[in-house]
């Protein structure tokens, strides 16, 4: 709850698609109870303070999982979500998940950049201001045209992301 209350209203809106100043008890339970198979969360801490979280929730009876990310405002634009996406995909794959799905607001260009700039072949569908993304997370997949760059895709090209 402390992490949620430390986020700006803009970050909260981008995560929940609404004004959501406080998490309900049911949300706290859902977000903090993981089984490490169908529901997993990875967090990033700096100086014992949570600054980011990425999670997946398997869609019941399928090899697909919904993913969601939140990075504290001060730590955005440093590649944290990109790293968390890779780690989450690795963890999900070994647990039988083959596909990630997510929804993000069209205005959330940063999150869209994370998905579209990843090594995954991302498919999108936009409707009513929401972008639905879907992609296979097969670890052998690599889009050679994807070149790692600095935060927000800027900076000098580096080695291929594969």
Q: What is the pTM of this model?
A: 0.75
Count of C-beta atoms within a 10 Å radius of residue 66:
13
How large is the average pLDDT for residues 49-57? 90
Residue appearing with tokens 């790692």: 148
Q: How far is CA 22 from CA 13, 15, 25, 70, 125, in A?
A: 12, 13, 9, 15, 30
What DSSP element (H or E) covers 136?
strand 130-136
DSSP state of 85: H
Segments making up each domain of the chain, as ranges: 2-153
pLDDT of 82-110, one tens digit each? 999 999 999 999 999 999 999 998 888 88
Superfamily the domain 2-153 falls into: Gcn5-related N-acetyltransferase (GNAT) (3.40.630.30)
């Amino acid at each position: 709850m402390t992490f949620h209350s430390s986020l700006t209203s803009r970050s909260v809106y981008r995560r929940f698609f609404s004004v959501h100043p406080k998490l309900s008890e049911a949300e706290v339970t859902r977000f903090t109870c993981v089984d490490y198979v169908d529901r997993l969360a990875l967090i990033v801490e700096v100086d014992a303070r949570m600054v980011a979280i990425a999670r997946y929730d398997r869609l019941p009876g399928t090899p697909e999982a919904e993913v969601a990310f939140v990075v504290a405002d001060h730590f955005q634009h440093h590649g944290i979500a990109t790293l968390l996406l890779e780690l989450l995909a690795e963890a999900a794959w070994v647990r039988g998940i083959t596909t990630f799905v997510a929804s993000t607001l069209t205005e959330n260009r940063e999150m869209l950049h994370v998905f579209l700039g990843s090594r995954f072949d991302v498919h999108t569908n936009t409707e009513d201001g929401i972008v639905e993304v879907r992609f296979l997370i097969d670890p052998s997949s690599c889009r050679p045209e994807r070149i790692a760059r600095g935060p927000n895709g800027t900076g000098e090209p580096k080695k291929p992301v594969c």
